């Protein structure tokens, strides 16, 4: 088939006449069959999906239950028993702190003197 732009004026007139003939014949056929010719129906617009409040609540409850189950399994995986004797953290005595402080002050003073 050729494009409409490549048709001559005569061919366009003939095409228009044929189109009119087809329409009149379709109307006549519709009258004979006592029904109207229904043009192709356009598809109905899709409805937007909305979720009811009850459905949202049900989904929320199910998600909370799943997370509770996950958290329960994590806490069960860790041993709940405490060690028999806790090891005391090493604490520095006041004398050791003073000694360390004096040492650091001397170090900082040496660095400051080196910069000058």
Domain edges within the chain: 10-37
Question: And the tokens for 30?
Answer: 């519709």
Where is 61: in which H helix or E strand? helix 53-77
How far apart are alpha carbons 116 and 111 in whole angstroms? Answer: 9
| Six token digits for residue 96 | 């050791």
Read off the pLDDT of each residue in 2-25 and give the average, rounded to a whole number: 87
Write down the pTM of the prediction: 0.29
Mean predicted confidence (pLDDT) in 44-71:
92
DSSP string, 87-116: PPPP---HHHHHHHHHHHHHHHHHHHHHH-
The lowest-confidence range among 4-13, 47-56, 94-103, 107-116 is: 4-13
Tell me how far the alpha carbon of residue 21 is from its chain's centroid. 55
Q: Locate 13 and state its tokens.
A: 């007139």
For residues 104 and 84, which has the higher predicted lDDT (pLDDT)?
A: 104
User: For 74-85, how does the pLDDT look when each residue is reduced to its tens digit (9 = 90+)?
Assistant: 877 666 566 666
Within 8 A by CB and 6+ apart from 12, the residues are 4
Summarised one tens digit per residue, pLDDT across range 37-54 is 555 667 778 888 899 999
């Amino acid at each position: 088939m050729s494009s409409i732009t490549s048709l001559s004026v005569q061919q366009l007139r003939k095409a228009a006449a044929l189109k009119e003939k087809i329409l009149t014949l379709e109307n006549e056929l519709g009258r004979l069959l006592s029904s109207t010719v229904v043009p192709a129906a356009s598809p109905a617009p899709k409805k937007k999906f909305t979720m009811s409040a009850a459905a949202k609540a049900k989904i929320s409850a199910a998600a909370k239950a799943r997370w509770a189950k996950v958290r329960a399994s994590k806490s069960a995986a860790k041993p709940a028993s405490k060690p028999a004797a806790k090891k005391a953290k090493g604490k520095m005595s006041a004398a050791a702190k003073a000694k360390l402080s004096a040492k650091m002050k001397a170090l900082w003073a040496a660095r400051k003197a080196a910069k000058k």
